[in-house]
Amino acid sequence: MTVIVLTNCPAGLRGFLTRWLLEVSPGVFLGSPSARVRDILWDEVRAYSGQGRALLAHSTNNEQGFTFRTHDHAWHPTDHEGLTLLHRPAPPSAGKTPGHPAPAAQAPRQGWSRAAKRRRFGR
How far apart, in whole angstroms, are the C-alpha atoms of residue 10 and residue 4?
14
Backbone CA torsion sign across 43, 71, 16, 42: positive
In whole angstroms, give the CA distance from residue 42 to residue 28.
14
Q: pLDDT by residue (tens digit) across 48-106?
A: 998 999 999 999 998 899 998 999 988 888 888 888 888 888 877 655 555 555 556 67
Query: Of the given ranges (22-26, 27-31, 75-79), which has the lowest mean pLDDT?
Result: 75-79
Distance CA 3, CA 30 (A): 4
> 24-52 burial string, b = 16+ CB within 10 Å, else e?
eeebebbbeeeeeebeebbeebeeebeeb
**pTM attached to this predicted model:** 0.70
